[in-house]
A and B are shown apart, each in its own frame.
Chain A
Amino acid sequence: DAGITQSPRHKVTETGTPVTLRCHQTENHRYMYWYRQDPGHGLRLIHYSYGVKDTDKGEVSDGYSVSRSKTEDFLLTLESATSSQTSVYFCAISESGQGDQPQHFGDGTRLSIL
């Protein structure tokens, strides 16, 4: 199994509070991704990173920011959480951005915003 650890695994918090989710990998892969999964929507890309300090926005990036100060860590921050950000969040890593190398996923973080 790919060495990907997401923390926390579960979190309940209140509207307006900041929340940071962590993704840690031990594979030394260059590419890292944050997705959210909601019923009826599949997985949608929030942000991704192609190297230390190199990040870009995905299709649902509003209300989220990311940072990658080390190869192994990719942080997702909700600056002021809203109920619409209640979701399951997945981190994924990939050795390459092309070809047959799949993305490998962490076990997910279930986030509830009350």
Chain B
Amino acid sequence: AQKITQTQPGMFVQEKEAVTLDCTYDTSDQSYGLFWYKQPSSGEMIFLIYQGSYDEQNATEGRYSLNFQKARKSANLVISASQLGDSAMYFCAMRLNRGSTLGRLYFGRGTQLTVWP
């Protein structure tokens, strides 16, 4: 069975500091992708960053980077230079590149990030 674990229900960070949100995953598949989504208080789901299981380099998108450690099955999201607008719920998700799963995402329970001034 596939499983995503986010062990931090809530995180706090001061503005301009960096923060790491943890995500571990469990799968026996070799080919998969990992995604992070942001959900602000307004409720929409915003795609942030993607990492493929065969990607040798960690993904980066602006202030977001993904610390991918395949052997440990972890895919932590790093947000640099936090801003007040980063306060939101963050979800880690996995998709298997197996035809039978048809692209479905497996989600973690989320981490609520609060950025304070």
Sorting the interface of chain A by its residue count into under 10, 10 to 19, 20 to 34 or 35 or more gives 20 to 34
Residues on the B chain within 8 Å of A97, using CB = 95, 99, 101-103
> Known contacts A48-B104, A104-B47: does B99 contact A40 (CB below 8 Å)?
no
A108 touches B44 (CB 8 A): yes
Q: How far is the CA of A103 from the CA of B99 in the complex (A)?
A: 16
Residue-by-residue, is B75-97 near A (CB-CB < 8 Å gives 1, otherwise 0)? Answer: 00000000000000001010101
List 15 additional A-B contacts (Cβ < 8 Å) besides A43-B45, A97-B103: A31-B102, A33-B104, A41-B109, A43-B105, A48-B102, A48-B103, A92-B45, A98-B97, A99-B52, A103-B35, A104-B47, A105-B37, A105-B45, A107-B44, A108-B44
Count of A-B residue pairs with CB < 8 Å: 67
Q: Give the distance to chain A from B19, nearest Cβ to Cβ, in Å.
A: 20
Residues on the B chain within 8 Å of A94, using CB = 103
A42 touches B109 (CB 8 A): yes
B43 touches A107 (CB 8 A): yes
Q: Give the distance to chain B from A49, nearest Cβ to Cβ, in Å.
A: 9
Q: Which of A48, A88, A103 has the most CB of B within 10 A?
A: A103
A43 touches B97 (CB 8 A): no
8 Å CB contacts to B: which residues of A82-101?
Answer: 88, 90, 92, 94, 96-100
Q: Which of A42, A58, A96 has the most CB of B within 10 A?
A: A42
Q: How far is the CA of A41 from the CA of B107 in the complex (A)?
A: 9
Residues on the B chain within 8 Å of A33, using CB = 103-105
A102 touches B109 (CB 8 A): no
Q: How far is the CA of A108 from the CA of B102 in the complex (A)?
A: 22
B102 touches A56 (CB 8 A): yes
Q: Nearest residue in B to A97 (C-beta to C-beta)?
A: B103
B43 touches A31 (CB 8 A): no
Q: Kindly list the 8 A-B residue pairs having the minimum CB-CB distance in the complex, ordered from nearest.
A: A97-B103, A105-B45, A42-B107, A102-B47, A98-B97, A42-B109, A43-B107, A97-B102
Q: Give the distance to chain B from A1, nearest Cβ to Cβ, in Å.
A: 9
Q: Is A22 an interface residue (CB 8 A)?
A: no
